[in-house]
Each structure stands twice: as structure tokens, then as C-alpha cells.
Amino acid sequence: MNPLNDEYFMKQALVEARMAADEGEVPIGAIIVCNNQIIARAHNQTERLNDPTAHAEMLAITSATNVLGAKYLTNCRLYVTLEPCTMCAGAIGWSQIGNLIYAASDDKKGFRKFAPQVLHPKTIIENGILEKECSEEIISFFRKKR
């Protein structure tokens, strides 16, 4: 059994999400994996950077392209705790990520509702891995805010 499976990597994204929550950010975390190694990890930093584009996925993509020295991430997998918004999905599409794996669906802002064709045609999408844990993190965060 391979310990470096989808659940392992999603747990790493969840660690990032919890770091975001600790910083007062919406708890979303992202991990980019290439050849079974984490090459980028990020969490939301929109408040910290005062930047509405500083979503976990955007920051992780920038980091991964810097690590690889390439603009395309065709052999990489992106793990994110919440379904990407349309902005992030656009960046995922432009970077040509090979696999997008997200935990929880986002019925309000998720790309599948607004722009289901925005990803690269070869990107494989999976969802539901650690959905309950990742959803609870977001629900708990907003419950404390209210």
C-alpha cells in the first residue's frame, strides 16, 4: 500500500487550510504534487496580502511553476480543500494541471456551477476525498465569525 495516496496529500492541504484559519483567513489549503513529491503548498492569504487574488490555488500554482521553471504543470496534481472558484479554475486551466482533486464542493462560488468548461480538456477531476473534514473546517470557521 502506498502511503503517499490521495488521502495523504489532501490531509496536507487540510494542514494548510488550518494554518489559514489560524491567521484569520478563509480556511482553504492547496498542495501541488509532482512525481509523488509535494513541490508547492499554500493557503489563502487574501487578508494578509490585501489581495483578492491571493487564493491558495493561485499561490500554489505560482510556487510550483517557480520550482519547476515552467509555466505548464501537466504532470502535476493539485489537491485543494474546496472546489476552486472560477478565477482559480481559469489559472488551473492555463497551467494545464494534469489532475485536480478537491475535497468539498462549493455550491455558491465553485467553478462547476459557473464555468464547467474552464479547465484544460485533459485535466482529470476528482472530488470528495476528506470532504467531511474539509467542509467542517470551513463551516466551523464561519460559525465562529458570526
- 76, 126, 108, 111 alpha-carbon torsion, rounded to 10°: 50
Question: Which residues 6+ apart lie within 8 Å of 140 measured at CB?
Answer: none
Complete edge-to-edge strand list for the sheet that includes strand 29-34: 37-43, 29-34, 76-82, 99-104, 124-127
Does the active-site annotation cover 23?
A: no
Per annotation, catalytic residue among 16, 57, 83, 137:
57
Cα–Cα distance, 39 to 41 (Å, whole number): 7
Measured over the CA atoms of residue 121, residue 96, residue 77 and residue 135, the dihedral's sign is: negative
Cα–Cα distance, 76 to 100 (Å, whole number): 9
- Residues classed as catalytic: 57
